[in-house]
Structure 1
């Protein structure tokens, strides 16, 4: 049984500041360790539930965060960025039994995490069919394109709630709650234990999983922080300026939505 893990950092237990997610800052080393620990807990939970192979997408910033020497022998890791529209889900295929998400965070426009954003801090919100969307929204729908259910997510309390609303029966582990620039977090040791148990539970009851349902046509609207980015993005084929600093794109094919996001948010 093959399991896919998409790993981010801004929902890692204890995180509260952008310096902790930036490889050029001194605080990053500690949170790179904590991110790696949560991924390892997810691997161990999946293994305990019968996974024979795990593919991890290092999905934060450079794509070079997880300490690879600590990975178990049954895991492989996708590092860096290919440029493929699957982005944080690159490496996923129809061969996988489930997708798992660790270190995920609240969407742009939210106050539920000091590090809330959607792909880039250059946008204030991203909407899908009129609803404010998160990175998880697009990644879960990407997984559904391959027929792969989203089984487990860990991250801040809001993204856990959003995940449960989008994907019925998904197992979640809330790691922190945001208050302005502050965060209230569980201890990293508790997070790792809960992730292990949560992933084990989720993989053990895959027959109960359901996938997000959203049929086309699809329309995304990207609301940029500044007009310069909006003007540049408006030149993507099929895109249109839909409001001040906002660009929209529509398609019946969700992959075309992913392709557009790949370039609109570049």
Structure 2
């Protein structure tokens, strides 16, 4: 049995502030280790549950945050960008049967800690077929197109409340409680890791969750942070301008939709 662990940073225990998630400062150097140790906890839990192979996907920012020499050597590591499947790259490998999401966060405009969807500078909301989704929903649906369910996820309480209905049967692990966008009440890193290891073990053992499926072609509604971003993205002929900051486009699949969104995220850098 092969398991993919996708690890973000904003939902990690003890992480609250943008300085902790942006490379180039001492707080990030500490936070990236906290991220790596939560990934290790999930790796251990997956092997406890009988996994024969584990891939761990570095899923934050530039996708090269966790020092490879800190990670459990039993796992293979997916790092670097660009890559087509982004936060769930590896799910396409033969034999992957389960995804665990570690350190995930609330969607854009949510009340969770460091809430955003893909790109906090560019995107205010993303909806598929009229349903607003954060990163867990988007990438859970992308994994679902490959027939793979999300069996476990960790993050703050707002993240869990937003996503529980999308992933019935999954094990959720609350690492902290949000009291604001940059404040909260966290478990200690040690207790968070123990809870993540147990949650990953239970989720992989049970595999009670079903794949999240958004079948067929998708109509994507994207609300952006500024009219200038809408001007930029509408250079792409596939985009329809709904109003000053709302765009719409059609995609043949969730994978195509996610790839288009990630292209917009990359494009947005020219307006920073």
1:163 lines up with 2:148 in the alignment: no
- Cross-structure match for 1:184: 185
String of CA shifts for 1:63-83, please: whole Å, max 9, x gaps: 111121122332110111134
- Cross-structure match for 1:34: 34
| Distance apart, 1:5 and its partner CA | 0.8
Structure 2: where are the runs of 5+ without partners?
Answer: 267-272
- Cross-structure match for 2:91: 92
Check the 8 A contact 1:107/1:135 in 2, yes or no: yes
Cα distance between partner residues in 1 of 2:48 and 2:217: 40
More divergent stretch after superposition (215-224 vs 43-52): 215-224
Structure 1: where are the runs of 5+ without partners?
Answer: none
1:151 lines up with 2:151 in the alignment: yes
Aligned residues: 263
Query: Structure 1 residues 112, 73: CA separation in 2 closer, same or farther (over 3 Å shift)?
Result: closer
CA RMSD, aligned part only? 1.4
Check the 8 A contact 1:54/1:74 in 2, yes or no: yes
More divergent stretch after superposition (153-162 vs 256-265): 256-265
Check the 8 A contact 1:6/1:59 in 2, yes or no: yes
TM-score normalised by the chain length of structure 1 = 0.94
Check the 8 A contact 1:52/1:74 in 2, yes or no: no
The SS at the match of 1:243 is coil
The SS at the match of 1:166 is coil
String of CA shifts for 1:138-166, please: whole Å, max 9, x gaps: 11011111111111100111222222210
- Cross-structure match for 2:269: none
| Distance apart, 1:252 and its partner CA | 4.2
TM-score normalised by the chain length of structure 2 = 0.92
- Cross-structure match for 2:50: 50
String of CA shifts for 1:170-213, please: whole Å, max 9, x gaps: 1010112222231111111111000010111111111x221223
- Cross-structure match for 1:7: 7
Check the 8 A contact 2:214/2:254 in 1, yes or no: no
